[in-house]
Amino acid sequence: KERGENYKVDILEHIEDQTASLYSQGEFVDLCRGPHVPSTGRIGALKLLSSAGAYWRGDERNPMLQRIYGTSFPTQTELDAHLAKLEEIKRRDHRKLGKELDLITIQDEIGPGLVLWHPRGALIRLLIENFWREQHLQQGYELVYSPHVARLDLWKTSGHVDYYREYMFTPMKLEASEYQLKPMNCPFHIMIYKSHLRSYRDLPIRYGELGTVYRYERTGVLHGLLRVRGFTQDDAHLFCRPDQIEAEVSRVLDFTFFVLRTFGFSEFEVYLSTRPEKAVGSPEHWDQATVALEAALKGRGVAYQIDPGEGVFYGPKIDIKIKDVLGRAWQCSTVQIDFNNPERFGLAYTGEDGKTHRPIMIHRALMGSIERFFGILLEHYAGAFPTWLAPVQAMVLCITDKQRDYAEAVTAQIKAAGYRAEADLRNEKIGFKIREAEKAKIPFMLVVGDRETQAGTVSVRGRSGSNLGSLSVQAVIDLIRADVSQALRAQ
């Protein structure tokens, strides 16, 4: 404090460990977390990247400071490779692409962390959600809906008020009762389970919901679609007997990898998180659940790492990170065992012995949230979504007004076959129209002039610039169908 380093004092006061390390260089002394190179001679290349304003601890109520970003590498070659990767990350930034492709926006008039889905973005989201629903029904899930608010008492029972208050919006008072925007979907699924008497024969029960939740995140930590205040979780809650845990988790793992691979991800990092210091439930329950999770991973031949003490307070969990085309790992999927909520809500089923037993609850998300997953997909594909997800699969481009009617007829034929097509009928040069379609990442561009109109064909270009030649409209439909089928059949 004597040096006027109030922020460093604040850091020291929030360090959980009793010891802190310092770094000194001449008269300069600073806190250091490390690791550090043994000598500045090891730094072969250095680059200051940028500077930006940042609120202290990410809280907009605190002063804004200046944050300086920089990096260093042992060699200039390694630094150049890193800088090239940073440029590619900028090119793929989902916030930039979302605006350029007219998919999503976040506007000040609406509020930070709240997403507006534009027509093409909404269509991609619909395709993702329809795929999700279809697959869940095939997997034996029952789909449910729940309200966006509930009485505050529900969140007291669930423990959210005690354990999660900092991430919850301020309650609303209505007719002498307090209501809360939901931060999670689980209590609603619990109440659906609780609405009937259950037998051991009924289990497992699997409820799935694309449920929108609201969490208070400080403005300083919000980031496009990756960190928002209102988002839709691809949520599911499974209620099962203790002896069913391994089988249910194995099913979830198979389902998770199937879904992630369908969307084009093939590399994963898997973590098994075990009992933290502060936990509810008996050690026996924890051991049983952890063994079941580990057995499911081993049974499916999944390589994983143990993450000691990183389970949630109510049970152990499996976390799955996906790697994108740039090698970045993103946390998406999770499978969590819960001893806490069945106890809090008094859940029960009648066992084969005629006695009352407590079910085990499994929380499960495959994508994490639709918004975050969409943002990851957008960066992974740099906006060039695979044909089955592209909002417009074919764009018909007429060279002059004379081909207008034929262009509309081609568009109608493709749409009648069940595929997404649009016609660019503007009075613009064909080169301009092609560039516009390429910018929009349209998979197939169908150019029609006098020759194509007379022959009943189209001249086909791929979005990568490839020329596929002159094809009949039916051949183009078959091409789109093959592209879509291959993507959905590959898994």
Bridge partners of 329, per DSSP, are 323
Bridge partners of 236, per DSSP, are 208, 364
Six token digits for residue 157: 């029972």
pLDDT number for residue 35: 74
For 353-375, how does the pLDDT look when each residue is reduced to its tens digit (9 = 90+)? 999 999 999 999 999 999 999 99
Q: Pick 231 or 40 by higher pLDDT.
A: 231
77: CB partners within 8 A, 6+ apart: none
How many Cα atoms are found within 13 Å in the side-chain-facing hemisphere of 34?
9
Instruction: Give the angle 348-350-353 at the CA atoms, nearest 5°.
Output: 135
pLDDT number for residue 339: 87
Distance, CA of 184 to CA of 415 (rounded, Å): 39
pLDDT number for residue 367: 96
The whole-number average pLDDT for the span 274-280 is: 85
In the chain, % of residues over pLDDT 70: 99
The whole-number average pLDDT for the span 439-447 is: 97
Looking at residue 411, its amino acid is T
pLDDT number for residue 170: 94
**Can you list the positions of beta strands (E) in 182-266?**
205-214, 230-240
**pLDDT tier at 490, thresholds 50, 70, 90:** low
Residue ranges of the alpha helices (H) in 349-390? Answer: 370-380
**pLDDT tier at 30, thresholds 50, 70, 90:** confident
Q: Which residues are catalytic?
A: 186, 215, 233, 235, 237, 317, 363
pLDDT number for residue 340: 87
The whole-number average pLDDT for the span 325-332 is: 93
Please state the separation of Cα 421 from the chain's center in Å: 28
Question: Tokens 């106890």 sit at which residue?
Answer: 343
Cα dist from 11 to 6, 19, 33, 87, 270, whole Å: 9, 12, 11, 33, 32
Please check the confidence at residue 18 and state whether its pLDDT lies above 80. no
The whole-number average pLDDT for the span 165-169 is: 91
347: CB partners within 8 A, 6+ apart: 190, 193, 194, 239, 341, 358, 359, 361
**pLDDT tier at 312, thresholds 50, 70, 90:** confident
Mean pLDDT of the chain: 93
For 400-430, how does the pLDDT look when each residue is reduced to its tens digit (9 = 90+)? 999 999 999 999 999 999 999 999 999 999 9
Six token digits for residue 362: 């499994």
* Three-class SS of 428-478: CCHHHHHHHHHHCCCCEEEEECHHHHHHCEEEEEECCCCEEEEEEHHHHHH
pLDDT number for residue 186: 96
Six token digits for residue 4: 């006027």
Q: Pick 280 or 113 by higher pLDDT.
A: 113
Count helices and strands (H / E) in the chain.
Answer: 15, 24
Please check the confidence at residue 491 and state whether its pLDDT lies above 70. no
pLDDT number for residue 26: 76
Which phi and psi (to 5°) does residue 160 adopt? -65, -35
Please check the confidence at residue 270 and state whether its pLDDT lies above 70. yes
* DSSP symbol at 400: S
Q: Pick 133 or 159 by higher pLDDT.
A: 133
Distance, CA of 314 to CA of 311 (rounded, Å): 8
pLDDT number for residue 43: 87
* Rg of the chain in Å (alpha carbons): 27
Domains of the chain: 6-92 (3.30.980.10), 100-146+185-380 (3.30.930.10), 394-489 (3.40.50.800)
439: CB partners within 8 A, 6+ apart: 100
**pLDDT tier at 285, thresholds 50, 70, 90:** confident
How many Cα atoms are found within 13 Å in the side-chain-facing hemisphere of 325?
14
For 90-111, how does the pLDDT look when each residue is reduced to its tens digit (9 = 90+)? 999 999 999 999 999 999 999 9
Distance, CA of 453 to CA of 168 (rounded, Å): 60
Please check the confidence at residue 25 and state whether its pLDDT lies above 80. no
Instruction: Report the candidate in 164, 316, 158, 130 with the shortest Cα–Cα distance to residue 234.
Output: 130
Q: What is the pTM of this model?
A: 0.89
pLDDT number for residue 109: 96
185: CB partners within 8 A, 6+ apart: 146, 209, 211, 213, 233, 235, 237
pLDDT number for residue 157: 93
Please state the separation of Cα 245 from the chain's center in Å: 25
Which phi and psi (to 5°) does residue 206 adopt? -125, 110
Q: Pick 68 or 465 by higher pLDDT.
A: 68
